[in-house]
Structure 1
């Protein structure tokens, strides 16, 4: 029986932060990383069209790769379409990525927390429900960044980012109120941890940047069936692959994936993504 992989899905390269943690916890597992670069950025989509696109895309991904579990390593997609994916494909366990509002509310000393996310995640009722449920006694500022995910994509591909541009995107996160200051910023997009060092450098004061990648990886591990001893180290080096939905990643993207031990497939998935983009 063929070893079934763990599928990690994101709109671009942000999910590599989750993949990195998953590999630490699951060194004996095989991974398929899917970058929906044909649909990036998700913020350009109408919600209904994006939901339909992702659910349709997963029909082919599940048929082609037969993963044991699928990790949606994207806050924007998870807060929108996770329930629809579980309803459409009940035989596949899905692990989502949602803003780490509960742990932020538990850890804050000042009572001032900011959630740095894409505009889509900020708009979701799901996000506001998390605040109502877990952070009702904490002041939470939602900050929707238009450009940070694209800055992270460019940084990972090219190795350079404009620090002033990063500073402008994160500055609304820093709140002073009644002698207190924001002490936790939730990174509610898997792209953002790649810019964490630049954020620390340009921040007006130190804060705890909360990255949920390890928690997501631990949740995925908890849902996997224990492996038989004879299968523990069956995977060969280079077995992990990267799938680009465009089928045409540039050289920088290929080098990035290879740097993560992922080898791009040449054939794209065949879902038409031309609809639903304004």
Structure 2
């Protein structure tokens, strides 16, 4: 096709910007709509049935309004729970999900001690347990559910101060020592967490590999676009704008943050 593809990137907040940035690197020609469901944030506090209804309802509005060629669910919580429902509801619209990067962590770990850092819902879900059984059975896996890191990341992105002690307390359970071996890989199983990765590195008790799934998600999105007939990127750069389900128009620090990602607010 010669027209620009339109990609809808969806998250509960600003964490999906980590995925958005990687997709833009591969497909700068695309038109993007980045939707933050800030009216529903954080997803980790929702009951599962309520969250399914919430995401499907928001998606109905977004798809009708923006007519995307593909949808990227840049949220682990939504992907591990709602993705099958979305695919059933819109069988002709490709959805690309985000799942914990347990397989690459297990493949690259030398100590075979890895941790999965996510929301309480993501680390407790059967989907995550199945990934561990399938790809990390030879590893000792520590599941760490944080109820506050996504909020901390949101605060930082909006120019608010964050406390080192709060971040350090949340990541501390990821670091395990067993029989002289140490955790050497931590899966970032929430797209908000790569926004804090420099703080994680600075505050970690020892160096580890922080596994960010965003590059792999971007490669998958690019492949899905090609499968849909958008083979070669069209010349020039597409448009990109951010929308918020609360209806707010970004101002101040948030507006500046979106601008750094090439997004127009509103």
> What TM bracket, shorter-length normalisation?
over 0.9
**Mapped contact 1:4–1:66 kept (Cα < 8 A):** no
TM-fit CA distance, 1:80: 0.5
TM-fit CA distance, 1:77: 0.5
TM-fit CA distance, 1:78: 0.3
**Mapped contact 1:6–1:32 kept (Cα < 8 A):** yes
2:97 pairs with 1:96: yes
Measure, in 2, the Cα distance between the counterparts of 1:43 and 1:249: 24
Measure, in 1, the Cα distance between the counterparts of 2:144 and 2:113: 13
CA deviation map 1:46-66 (0-9, x unaligned): 110001110121111111111
Measure, in 1, the Cα distance between the counterparts of 2:121 and 2:231: 41
TM-fit CA distance, 1:227: 3.6
**Partner of residue 208, structure 2:** 207
**Mapped contact 2:109–2:184 kept (Cα < 8 A):** yes
2:35 pairs with 1:8: no
Aligned residue pairs, count: 262
Measure, in 2, the Cα distance between the counterparts of 1:249 and 1:45: 25
TM-fit CA distance, 1:159: 5.7
Task: Give the match's secondary structure for 1:224.
Answer: helix
Root-mean-square deviation (CA, aligned residues, Å) is 1.6
TM-score norm. by structure 1 comes to 0.90
**Partner of residue 240, structure 2:** 240
TM-fit CA distance, 1:228: 7.2
Q: Aligned runs of 1:219-238 on 2, under 5 Å?
A: 219-225=220-226, 226-227=229-230, 232-233=234-235
CA deviation map 1:58-105 (0-9, x unaligned): 111111111111000000000010000000011110000000011111
Measure, in 2, the Cα distance between the counterparts of 1:243 and 1:232: 24
**Partner of residue 183, structure 2:** 182
Measure, in 2, the Cα distance between the counterparts of 1:250 and 1:89: 30
**Partner of residue 127, structure 1:** 128
2:38 pairs with 1:37: yes
**Mapped contact 2:28–2:237 kept (Cα < 8 A):** no
**Partner of residue 263, structure 2:** 262
Measure, in 2, the Cα distance between the counterparts of 1:166 and 1:82: 30
TM-fit CA distance, 1:113: 0.2
Measure, in 2, the Cα distance between the counterparts of 1:168 and 1:234: 45
CA deviation map 1:137-187 (0-9, x unaligned): 110000001110111111111163211111000000000001100000000
**Mapped contact 1:98–1:188 kept (Cα < 8 A):** yes
TM-fit CA distance, 1:3: 3.8
Measure, in 2, the Cα distance between the counterparts of 1:24 and 1:136: 34
Task: Give the match's secondary structure for 2:158.
Answer: helix
Measure, in 2, the Cα distance between the counterparts of 1:21 and 1:159: 25
Task: Give the match's secondary structure for 1:261.
Answer: coil
**Partner of residue 51, structure 2:** 50
Task: Give the match's secondary structure for 1:158.
Answer: coil
Measure, in 2, the Cα distance between the counterparts of 1:163 and 1:191: 17
Measure, in 2, the Cα distance between the counterparts of 1:116 and 1:76: 12
251-260 or 169-178, which deviates more:
251-260
TM-score norm. by structure 2 comes to 0.94
TM-fit CA distance, 1:249: 4.2
TM-fit CA distance, 1:235: 5.0
